[in-house]
Structure formats: structure tokens, C-alpha cells
């Protein structure tokens, strides 16, 4: 992208920067985007492990058709908390907050985000919201049991700790809004000279469109959840049907955000795929502008399809028809991306490193998730499989098979940049293999189960579903072993990994021009960008030197 930067050895990396406070306070009061990114990373991984344990426990309960390990009420709180944690605390912040923070300024040649202190505030709000969500589990009254969707009227009537959980989601929403506006301003105002819009890495494009969804859709759920809180506290009539309220309106407002949230979750993951594939195919990305524009298109059209979550609530036929049609349209930009990735791989000189393997798993699993999504978007099929395991399977293929895998791939890809060490390759490969195999054994049977009529969120089930449930549960064990290997491997690599050069993958985006880990203010001199983010013509040589 530019000629290799010459960062003087005297500039300390960001782990050794002089901070106002010592030790841990040097981190939690730091406004450095890299430190904030890593703070988010640790928080997100912690929450992910909590959510994963809940998931494994649920699968264990489903091992037999009758009572296995927990009571029905506990099972209800399990799936509620699993949803809240995984959605609001893991996949939504995963890319914008973790990788967006760490990489965005590096990728566009800036020293930090536009509002560094606001960025720190976002992190604090995130931690406050996350803590509140976890604390609500242990408060008297018990953990919320409404499902992560908090549907009224149940969320108005339930005697569990709904208010803390709702307030947690509200606070997390604010954190997300602030991150979004920070990124938009950063991208508009802080690109390095020569970094035109079409020289930006595609991850930045995806962050940009995501940020718009964050600031324009999040307030809707914020106010909706707040209204439920007010309704519970003061008995104001808003959604409560006994006071004339319309619970379906709650669902409209809830999905008005929560469907676009799916795009907050998946778009940056797609950006990561678009950035990683060309590096390991040693080819420029196929159809750069199509991918860039399709990010915007997905963000825009994705905001218009929310009511396909509500086809069975008794909407008007006109409404159903329009939302179904729009749902099919949103598949087009998603498919454009998939075709472009495959075309990029075609005739590339492929290096099968672990990050690329994750991206390949992403493409396969996202395609399954996307196509089952189209089935769900079709009105006739939807009526049949709504609220069954088909939806659960589809959802996890997109959220986990897509974003989750991209998350691990991104973590392995940028690990050398973040921590200055290479990961150890063999366990990484084994971990990937187990995770991918386990994932598919876990979730593919769910698609079949759902098609056979197994309803979601049920504690007991009919005996004919037992075999597939057992297969899925075994899959969860394999997958968890893979995930543990992957995480432990990274921890071991922090100490035992080889020291990482500035550009171990021979990538052409700006973050690889600075040392690993990057210096405190990223760039000694703000670079002037002359070539594109996927132009490897000048890079090949330097890779061989560093290896």
C-alpha cells in the first residue's frame, strides 16, 4: 500500500507507552484505541465463555426427552441469558468494538479515533451494561425468563428480574451508538492523505455501513425497552393489552432494531472475510466496488425487512407480502459478496493458513445460513417452520457459523499485530477442524429437527426427536473442545509464539506497515497512500525477507 514504514526502534509499542496511571488503571482509563480494543476483546471473550457454558448446559438438558439436569424454570433462564449474552455482549460488539477499535485508525492511517474519550466512555458503558446483565442473574427474583426478545405482555408480567436486564440492554445500546458515531466521524475526517474512499480496506467499508445502522436503528430498541421498564414501574398503558396496548406493535419496534442488528453482526464479519481472503489467495479482491456498495445496500435494505420475524402474528396480507419481497431482495447483495469471494479464490495461489480456513468455513456456513434464511422468508414455508429448531439452526448458522467463525479467524489473523507473537500452527489447525466439524454436527440436525416440527425453547420433547438431539449434543462437545484448544493455544502463543514481524502475511493494508505490536501513536509519520489495499505487486518481496 505504501512503502514499508520506518518506525524508529526508539518509539515504544503501545504496551509500553507512558500512561497517566499505573498497571490496570493504565488500561481501563486509557483512551488509546488499541488498548480499548483489547479491553473489549477480553470482555467479549469472557462473556462468550459464559454464554457458551449456558449453551452447553442447554444441550445437555436436551440429551433426553424428559428432565435431564435442570428444572423447566432454570431452562427458561438459560436460553434467555444465553441469548442476551451472546447477542448483546458478544456478537454485536465483537467486530465494531473489538476489531473496529483496534484496526480502524490503523487501516485508514490515523493516530486514533476522532473522539478518544468518548470511545473510553463507550467501553465503560459496555462494562456497566454487561455487569448489570450478569448481576441480574443473582438478584432476588431470579434471572429473566422471557427469552432475549422480551416479548410483551410476558415481560410486563414475569416476576423475574426483567428491569435490570432491560436496563442492561438499554445501556449497551448507548455504548453501541457512541461507537457508531465515533467511527463515522473518524472515517469522514481522519483518513490519511491519499486514502480515498475506494482505497479503504473493505473492512472499513463494512464498519462504516454498520455504524450507520448502529446510530439509526439502536435508538428504536432503546426507547422500546425503556417503555417496557416504565410500563412495569408505573403501570402506564403502552403495550399492555389490558390497557389497550398492542403487543404486536412491541414486536414491530423490537425487530425494527433487532433485525438490522443482524447486519451489525454479520456485515463487519463479511468485511473481515473480504480482507483476509485476498491475502492468502495472493490476488486482488474480485469486484471491490461491488463488495463496498453491497455493504451499504445490505445495511439499507436490511433495515426494511424486520417484520419477517412476525409472519404468524396476524399481520395484514399486504404487510406480509411486502416484507417477504424485501427479504428476498436483501439476499442479492449478500450473494454478490459470496460470489466475489469465490471468484477471488479462483486461480489464486492459495496458502492454507488457519485464518483462511476459518474464512472458508464462514463462506460455507454463511451460505447455509443465508439459504435457510430465504426459506424462512418465504411466507408458506415460514408458517410451517416458525418457532421451530429450523429457525434456531438457521440463526446459529449465520450468527455463529458466520460471525463466530469470522471472529476466530480475525483473532488468528490479527493476533500477530495485536500481541507481537505468531500463534502456534498445529493446535490452531486441530482446533479449527474440531470447531468446524463439531459446529455442523451440532446445528445441522437442528434444521432437520425443525423441519420435522420440533418447537424451539421447549424443555420436553417427543421421543422421535431423541436421536437427532443426541447427535447435536455430541456435536456441542466436539465444538467446545475445539474452541478451548483455539483459546488456550492463543494464550500459550503469547509466551511461546515466535516474535512476529511487521507483516507476517504479506498483506497490503496499512496496519501491516507498522511494527507488531504497533507503536503508541500508530504512525510516526502519517503515511501517504498511493496504492490500493489489495495490491500485492510490491509486497511479495518483503514477505520472503521477513520469513
Partner 1 sequence: MTSKAVAGEHKHRDDVGSRMGLWLFLFSELILFGGMFIIYAVYRFMHAEEFRLAAAELDPFIGTINTMILLTSSLTVAMSITAIQQGKKYLSMALASTTLVLAVVFLVNKYFEWSHKISIGIYPQSPELMNKPQGEILYFGLYYVMTGLHAIHVIIGMAVLGFMLVFIAKGSINRGSFVKLEAGALYWHLVDIIWIFLFPLFYLIH
Partner 2 sequence: MTQHEEEHKQHRVPYGEYILIWLGLLALTCLTVALAGIDLGRWVIITALIIASVKSLLVMNVFMHLKYEDRMFRLFALVALVTFIIFISLTFFDYAFH
In the complex, which residues of this chain contact partner 1 (CB under 8 A)?
A: 2-3, 5, 111, 114-115, 118, 177-178, 180-182, 184-185, 188-190, 192-193, 215-220, 222-224, 227, 230, 234-238, 243-246, 249, 252-253, 256, 521, 523-528
Q: In the set 44, 52, 125, 256, which binds partner 2 (CB under 8 A)?
A: 256
Pick one of partner 1, partner 2, none as the site partner of residue 182 (Cβ within 5 to 8 A by kind).
Answer: partner 1
331 binds partner 2 (CB under 8 A): no
Sequence length of the chain is 547
CB of 309 to partner 2, least distance (A): 12
309 binds partner 2 (CB under 8 A): no
Contact of 361 with 436, CB cutoff 8 Å: yes
Estimate the crossing angle of helix 466-496 against helix 405-419, to 10 degrees. Answer: 10
Contact of 79 with 44, CB cutoff 8 Å: no
In 3D space, the residue among 515, 540, 530, 531 whose CA is nearest the CA of residue 34 turns out to be: 515
In 3D space, the residue among 4, 34, 28 whose CA is nearest the CA of residue 99 turns out to be: 34
Assigned C-alpha cell, 228: 417496557
CB of 182 to partner 1, least distance (A): 7
State the Cα–Cα distance between residues 198 and 204, nearest whole angstrom. 10
CA 461 to chain centroid, in Å, comes to 31
**x/- string (CB under 8 A) for partner 2, residues 33-72?**
----------------------------------------
CB of 318 to partner 1, least distance (A): 15
115 binds partner 2 (CB under 8 A): no
CB of 323 to partner 1, least distance (A): 16
State the Cα–Cα distance between residues 21 and 235, nearest whole angstrom. 47
Contact of 473 with 62, CB cutoff 8 Å: yes
Q: In the set 4, 118, 226, 304, which binds partner 2 (CB under 8 A)?
A: 304
Nearer to partner 1, 221 or 345 (CB): 221
193 binds partner 2 (CB under 8 A): no
Number of CB atoms found within 10 A of residue 67's CB? 12
In 3D space, the residue among 11, 12, 38, 13 whose CA is nearest the CA of residue 24 turns out to be: 38
Nearer to partner 1, 185 or 542 (CB): 185
Pick one of partner 2, partner 1, none as the site partner of residue 315 (Cβ within 5 to 8 A by kind).
Answer: partner 2
**x/- string (CB under 8 A) for partner 2, residues 149-188?**
---------------------------------------x
In 3D space, the residue among 256, 285, 253, 212 whose CA is nearest the CA of residue 507 turns out to be: 285
Pick one of partner 2, partner 1, none as the site partner of residue 317 (Cβ within 5 to 8 A by kind).
Answer: partner 2
Nearer to partner 1, 160 or 522 (CB): 522
Nearer to partner 1, 6 or 380 (CB): 6
* Phi, psi at 350, each rounded to 5°: -85, 130
**3-class SS of residue 519:** strand
Contact of 44 with 98, CB cutoff 8 Å: yes
**x/- string (CB under 8 A) for partner 2, residues 196-215?**
----------------x---
State the Cα–Cα distance between residues 294 and 121, nearest whole angstrom. 31
Give the footprint of partner 2 on this chain (CB under 8 A).
Answer: 188, 212, 216, 220, 248-249, 252, 256, 303-304, 306-307, 315-319, 322-323
Amino acid at each position: 500500500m505504501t512503502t514499508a514504514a520506518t518506525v524508529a526502534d526508539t518509539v515504544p509499542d503501545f504496551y509500553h507507552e507512558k500512561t497517566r496511571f499505573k498497571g490496570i488503571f493504565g488500561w481501563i482509563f486509557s483512551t488509546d484505541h488499541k488498548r480499548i480494543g483489547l479491553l473489549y476483546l477480553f470482555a467479549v471473550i469472557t462473556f462468550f465463555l459464559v454464554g457458551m457454558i449456558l449453551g452447553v448446559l442447554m444441550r445437555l438438558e436436551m440429551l433426553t426427552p424428559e428432565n435431564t439436569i435442570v428444572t423447566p424454570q432454570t431452562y427458561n433462564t438459560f436460553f434467555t441469558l444465553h441469548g442476551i449474552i451472546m447477542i448483546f455482549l458478544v456478537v454485536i460488539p465483537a467486530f465494531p468494538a473489538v476489531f473496529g477499535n483496534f484496526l480502524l485508525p490503523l487501516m485508514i492511517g490515523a493516530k486514533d479515533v476522532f473522539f478518544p474519550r468518548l470511545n473510553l466512555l463507550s467501553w465503560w458503558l459496555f462494562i456497566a451494561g454487561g455487569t448489570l446483565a450478569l448481576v441480574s442473574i443473582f438478584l432476588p427474583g431470579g434471572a429473566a425468563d422471557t427469552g432475549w426478545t422480551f416479548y410483551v405482555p410476558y415481560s410486563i408480567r414475569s416476576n423475574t428480574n426483567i428491569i435490570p436486564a432491560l436496563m442492561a440492554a438499554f445501556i449497551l445500546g448507548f455504548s453501541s451508538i457512541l461507537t457508531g458515531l465515533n467511527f463515522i466521524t473518524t472515517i469522514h475526517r481522519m483518513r490519511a492523505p491519499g486514502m480515498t474512499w475506494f482505497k479503504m480496506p473493505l473492512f472499513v467499508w463494512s464498519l462504516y455501513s454498520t455504524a450507520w445502522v448502529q446510530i439509526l436503528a439502536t435508538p428504536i430498541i432503546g426507547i422500546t425497552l425503556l417503555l417496557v421498564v416504565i410500563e412495569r414501574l408505573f403501570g402506564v398503558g403502552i403495550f399492555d393489552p389490558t390497557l389497550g396496548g398492542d403487543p404486536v406493535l412491541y414486536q414491530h419496534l423490537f425487530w425494527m432494531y433487532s433485525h438490522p442488528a443482524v447486519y451489525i453482526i454479520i456485515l463487519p464479519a463479511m468485511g473481515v472475510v473480504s480482507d483476509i481472503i485476498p491475502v492468502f489467495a495472493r490476488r486482488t479482491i474480485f469486484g471491490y466496488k461491488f463488495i463496498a456498495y453491497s455493504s451499504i445496500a445490505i445495511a439499507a435494505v436490511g433495515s426494511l425487512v424486520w417484520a419477517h420475524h412476525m409472519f404468524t402474528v396476524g399481520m395484514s396480507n399486504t404487510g406480509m407480502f411486502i416484507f417477504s419481497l424485501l427479504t428476498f431482495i436483501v439476499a442479492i447483495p449478500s450473494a454478490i459478496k459470496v460470489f466475489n469471494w469465490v471468484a477471488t479464490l479462483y486461480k489464486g495461489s492459495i496458502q492454507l493458513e488457519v485464518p483462511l480456513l476459518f474464512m472458508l468455513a464462514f463462506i460455507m456456513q454463511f451460505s447455509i445460513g443465508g439459504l435457510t434464511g430465504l426459506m424462512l422468508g418465504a411466507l408458506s414455508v415460514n408458517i410451517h417452520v416458525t418457532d421451530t429448531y429450523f429457525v434456531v439452526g438457521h440463526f446459529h448458522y449465520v450468527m455463529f457459523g458466520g460471525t463466530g467463525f469470522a471472529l476466530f479467524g480475525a483473532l488468528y489473523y490479527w493476533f500477530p499485530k495485536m500481541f507481537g507473537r505468531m500463534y502456534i500452527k498445529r493446535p490452531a489447525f486441530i482446533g479449527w477442524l474440531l470447531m468446524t466439524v463439531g459446529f455442523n454436527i451440532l446445528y445441522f440436525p437442528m434444521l432437520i429437527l425443525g423441519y420435522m416440527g420440533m418447537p424451539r425453547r421447549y424443555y420436553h420433547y417427543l421421543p422421535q426427536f431423541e436421536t437427532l438431539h443426541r447427535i447435536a449434543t455430541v456435536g456441542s462437545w466436539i465444538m467446545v473442545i475445539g474452541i478451548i484448544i483455539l483459546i488456550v493455544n492463543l494464550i500459550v502463543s503469547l509466551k511461546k509464539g515466535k516474535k512476529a514481524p511487521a507483516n507476517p502475511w504479506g498483506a497490503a493494508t496499512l496496519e501491516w506497515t507498522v511494527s507488531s505490536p504497533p507503536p503508541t501513536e500508530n504512525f510516526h509519520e502519517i503515511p501517504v497512500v498511493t496504492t490500493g489495499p489489495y495490491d500485492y505487486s510490491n509486497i511479495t518481496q518483503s514477505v520472503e525477507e521477513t520469513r
